[in-house]
A = this chain, B = another copy of it.
Amino acid sequence: MRSVSIKDIAQEVGVSTTTVSFVLNGKAKEKRISNELRDKILKTAERLNYRPNQVARGLRTGQTHTLGLIVEDISNPFFAHLARFVEDEADKAGYKVMFCSTENNDEKAISLLYLLRHRQMDGFIIIPTSGIEKEIQSLAEEKRPVVLVDRYFPGMDISYVTVDNYKGAYDGVQLLLAKGYKDILLVTLDSEQVQMTERERGFIESIASSGKVHKPADTLHLQYDLTHPEMVKAIVEFLSSHNTADAVFFTTNYLGVAGMEAIRHLKKIIPEQIAVISFDDNDLFRLGSPTISVISQPIREIGKKAVEIILHMINSKSGESLHYVLEPQVMERESV
């Protein structure tokens, strides 16, 4: 049952574990171990099918070659894709990734943070919930590599990768305005998180650019913790009570999905009776009938940058924080 350890090899070859360790770590030359001995050890390791015990190694070196990725919800396609790209990039550098979902719940996020910290993750890629500033701060103070993704805490000196949410929303609304829509609704989350406030700000200023004023009543702020049916219901009610509206803007993918469901329920025709645009792309928006215009984020780039930053921090041991703001892209489709 016990797997072969460095000790077994040492015994087999008749040397000390030290020598074996040196050879296995490629320090044979440096330590001027004879070629024959080196080969013998290597062959024995091979023959016994030796695999180093990462737990023990991690304990000793403090390095586990593992990154922690804390997302909001791994089943959300945005995060699922992000996870995949992070995994791909990390893999190239020989790192593994451990994922967890916070459900946007501070308590859960904090306990995950503690947990991963004590599983000796070498670095953290985090989609932060709003209430974990303090914990992030203390991670950084412990000089643990951290990079925030999708959102960040303004004023805090932590690395992050995000998109220009303001510009994305602004441009999305400009598309609607250019198409002649005049009475545009906003459906967003009731959230203080910067990515959401920026999208709302972009929306409002874009409307303002056309000389109009967006009335607060024309915005629906949904609680994060609603169930999916509750969201749909709330959107149905909101749309019903704003019958004159000719367009609606959703600030994130699952709101957009719930919105599609609501519109279908109301039997409204897109785009004749109501135009639709949403943040984040997905199969439904891309292939549904009609196809839905979106403000799409460069998810692969985001993941790539995040890993790049983390690896840089790990390798350089630099505490310097790096910030990347990528460009979202408005994709015009049939829904406008």
Residues of A within 8 A of B (CB): 1, 3, 51-56, 58-59, 64, 66, 73-77, 80-81, 83-84, 87, 96-101, 114-115, 117-120, 142-143, 257, 260-261, 264, 282-284, 287-290
B-side contacts of A76, CB under 8 Å? 80
Q: Is the CB of B64 within 8 A of A75?
A: no
Q: Is the CB of B87 within 8 A of A96?
A: no
Known: A81-B75, A142-B3, A283-B283. A115 touches B99 (CB 8 A): no
Q: Is the CB of A118 within 8 A of B54?
A: yes
Q: Is the CB of A83 within 8 A of B87?
A: no
> What is the CB-to-nearest-CB distance from A2 to chain B, in angstroms, rounded to a whole number?
9
Known: A54-B118, A288-B287. A98 touches B101 (CB 8 A): no
Q: What is the total number of copies of this protein in its complex?
A: 2
B-side contacts of A77, CB under 8 Å? 75, 77, 80
B-side contacts of A74, CB under 8 Å? 74, 80, 83-84, 87, 99
Q: Give Cα A51–Cα B52 distance, bound, in whole angstroms.
A: 26
> What is the CB-to-nearest-CB distance from A49 to chain B, in angstroms, rounded to a whole number?
9
B-side contacts of A73, CB under 8 Å? 84
> What is the CB-to-nearest-CB distance from A107 to chain B, in angstroms, rounded to a whole number?
12
CB nearest to A264 among chain B residues: B287
Q: Is the CB of A101 within 8 A of B118?
A: no
B-side contacts of A99, CB under 8 Å? 74, 83, 87, 97-99
B-side contacts of A56, CB under 8 Å? 59
CB nearest to A114 among chain B residues: B51
B-side contacts of A282, CB under 8 Å? 283-284
Q: Give Cα A232–Cα B206 distance, bound, in whole angstroms.
A: 38
Q: Give Cα A283–Cα B75 distance, bound, in whole angstroms.
A: 12
B-side contacts of A97, CB under 8 Å? 99-100
CB nearest to A253 among chain B residues: B283
> What is the CB-to-nearest-CB distance from A116 to chain B, in angstroms, rounded to a whole number?
8
Q: Is the CB of A54 within 8 A of B288?
A: no
Question: 16 other contacts beyond A55-B120, A77-B77, A283-B283, with CB at 8 A cut-off?
Answer: A1-B142, A53-B118, A54-B118, A55-B59, A55-B64, A55-B118, A55-B119, A74-B74, A74-B83, A74-B99, A75-B80, A75-B81, A75-B84, A84-B101, A260-B287, A288-B288
Q: Is the CB of A87 within 8 A of B100?
A: yes
> What is the CB-to-nearest-CB distance from A322 to chain B, in angstroms, rounded to a whole number?
21
> What is the CB-to-nearest-CB distance from A117 to chain B, in angstroms, rounded to a whole number?
7
B-side contacts of A142, CB under 8 Å? 1, 3
CB nearest to A69 among chain B residues: B99
B-side contacts of A58, CB under 8 Å? 55
B-side contacts of A117, CB under 8 Å? 3, 51
> What is the CB-to-nearest-CB distance from A292 to chain B, in angstroms, rounded to a whole number?
10
The 6 lowest CB-CB distance pairs between A and B, nearest first, are A75-B84, A80-B80, A288-B288, A289-B289, A283-B284, A284-B284
Most buried by B among A52, A76, A87: A87
Contact among B54, B114, B260, B264 with A119 in the assembled complex (CB-CB below 8 Å):
B54
| Sample of 10 A–B contacts (CB below 8 Å) | A3-B118, A53-B120, A54-B115, A54-B118, A55-B58, A74-B99, A75-B83, A260-B287, A288-B288, A289-B290
